[in-house]
Amino acid sequence: MSLGLSSTRSSAAGCWLVIYPVAVFSSRNFKLQDKAERIVILGTGGTIAGKAADAADNVGYKAGQVGVDQLVLAAPPLAAFKLETEQVAQLDSKDMDFATWQRLAQAVDRHLQRDDVRGVVITHGTDTLEETAYLLMRVLAPRKPVVLTAAMRPSTALQADGPQNLLDAVAVASQAASGVFAVLAGRIHGATRLRKVHSYAIDAFASVEGGALGTVEEGRVRWLSQAEAELPPLGLSRIARDASQWPWVEIVQNHAGADGRVVEAMLAHGVHGIVVAGTGNGTLSNGLTAALQKARDRGVSVLRSTRCDAGPVIGGELPSAGALSPVKARIELLLQLLA
C-alpha cells in the first residue's frame, strides 16, 4: 500500500537528511535522498512483527503476526519519509524457504527498477537474515540500497527494538548509494561479513573481520569503512527454477569422532551438494575426508568452509569457500548447482 506520506514535513527526522556535514561520508556510500524518491518497505515477518501475550515476555512470542503497515505506524518519525509497503511474506525466518526467497528477490528487483524508488527496506527475522542478505547480494548486486532490518524483541515488548531499527534502516536506504546492508542496533553491516552472533542480546549481530561498515546515530549515517567487494550479480534467472526443484545442499561439520557416516546417509538419500564446516582453517577428520571424496566421485559437489566464527579456509584439497560462513557457502553452492 502507499502510505502517501510526504517528506516535506520539517520534523527532526526531515532535518537529518540535510544538516550533517558531507565530508564525513565516503563518497561511494553517500547520496542524499531526493525528496521525490520513495523507500519501499517489504514485510516478511520475524520477531520484529512478533506478538507476545505479556509485555514483559521477550521470548514467549509468536513471530510474524503484525503487518508491515503496523510496523511503520509504530515508528512515528517515519512520517517524514515517502514510503510504500508490501507484505511479501509473514513467517518466522527459521522457516525461510526457497519459494519465499524467490518471491522476495523478484519484489526487490521490481521496486528497484522504478525511477521513483530510491531504495528498499526489508523487515525480516534475525535467524536467517544473513542468508537472505547474502542471497540478494549475489543475485541482484543492486545499484540502489537494499537494507534488511529485524528485532530481537517482539513488537509487544516493553522496550521493543523494532521501531528504532526500522527507522534506522529507512535512514540508511535514503542515504546509502548502493548495495545490500543490514541495519540493527545502530550499526550498518554488509551482506558478506554479517553474522548473528548472539541468541538473545539486543545487539546480536556483528561483521566479522573488520567490524561494521558504519553506524546510524539519530538518523545520521556515519560510514566507518569501505563497502565490501562484490562479485558480479548472477541475475534473477539464476533462481527462477521452481522452488521445489532446487538442489538439496546440506551442511555437515567436523568434530571429535566425525567418521563420515552422516555423509554416507546423505548419499543414500540423493544429496546434491555438501558444505563441510571444517575445524580450524578447514581441516577434516580422515573419515570425513574419505566420505566426502566418495561423494565427489559420485558427482556430489563439495565446498569446504570452517566452523570458526571468522577467518578463511587455508590449504587442503577439497574446494574452498574462502572466508564465507557455512550458511553462506551453502548459498554459493546452491547458486552454482542452479546454473
Helices (H), 199-306: 261-268, 286-297
Per DSSP (E only), the strands in the chain are 38-45, 51-52, 61-62, 83-91, 117-123, 145-149, 179-184, 187-190, 194-196, 205-207, 214-217, 220-223, 249-253, 273-278, 301-306
Query: Which one among 41, 42, 122, 152 touches ligand ASP, defined by CB under 6 A?
Result: 152
Nearer to ligand ASP, 200 or 315 (CB): 200
Nearer to ligand ASP, 198 or 222 (CB): 198
Nearer to ligand ASP, 93 or 174 (CB): 93
Query: Which span sits near ligand ASP by CB under 6 A: 120-128, 182-190, 252-260, 326-334?
Result: 120-128
* Alpha-carbon torsion (209, 213, 217, 218), positive or negative: negative
Nearer to ligand ASP, 49 or 271 (CB): 49
Q: Which residues pair with 41 in a beta bridge?
A: 85, 121
Nearer to ligand ASP, 63 or 72 (CB): 63
How many residues sit close enough to ligand ASP to count as binding (CB under 6 A)? 11
Does position 125 interact with ligand ASP (CB under 6 A)? The reply is yes
Tell me how far, at minimum, the Cβ of 46 lies from ligand ASP, in Å: 4
Q: Is 134 left (phi over 0), alpha (psi -120 to 50) or beta?
A: alpha
Query: Which span sits near ligand ASP by CB under 6 A: 14-22, 123-131, 207-215, 327-335?
Result: 123-131
Three-state DSSP class for 129?
helix
Interface positions, 41-60, toward ligand ASP (CB under 6 A):
46-47
47 labelled catalytic: yes
Joined together, the cell numbers standing for residue 318 give 577439497
Angle between helices 129-140 and 98-112 (to 10 degrees): 50
The residue with cell 557455512 is 326
Q: Which residue of the set 44, 47, 156, 192 is catalytic?
A: 47
**Cα atoms in the Cβ-side hemisphere of radius 13 Å centred on 23:** 1
Query: Which span sits near ligand ASP by CB under 6 A: 90-98, 172-180, 231-239, 306-314?
Result: 90-98
Does position 92 interact with ligand ASP (CB under 6 A)? The reply is yes
The closest residue (CB) to ligand ASP is 125
Query: Which span sits near ligand ASP by CB under 6 A: 73-81, 122-130, 242-250, 327-335?
Result: 122-130
Query: Which one among 29, 33, 85, 93 touches ligand ASP, defined by CB under 6 A?
Result: 93
The residue with cell 553491516 is 189
- Distances in Å between the Cα of 251 and the Cα atoms of 24, 166, 243 are 42, 32, 19
Judged by the rule CB under 6 A, the positions of this chain that interact with ligand ASP are 46-47, 63, 92-94, 125-127, 150, 152
Catalogue the active-site residues.
Answer: 47
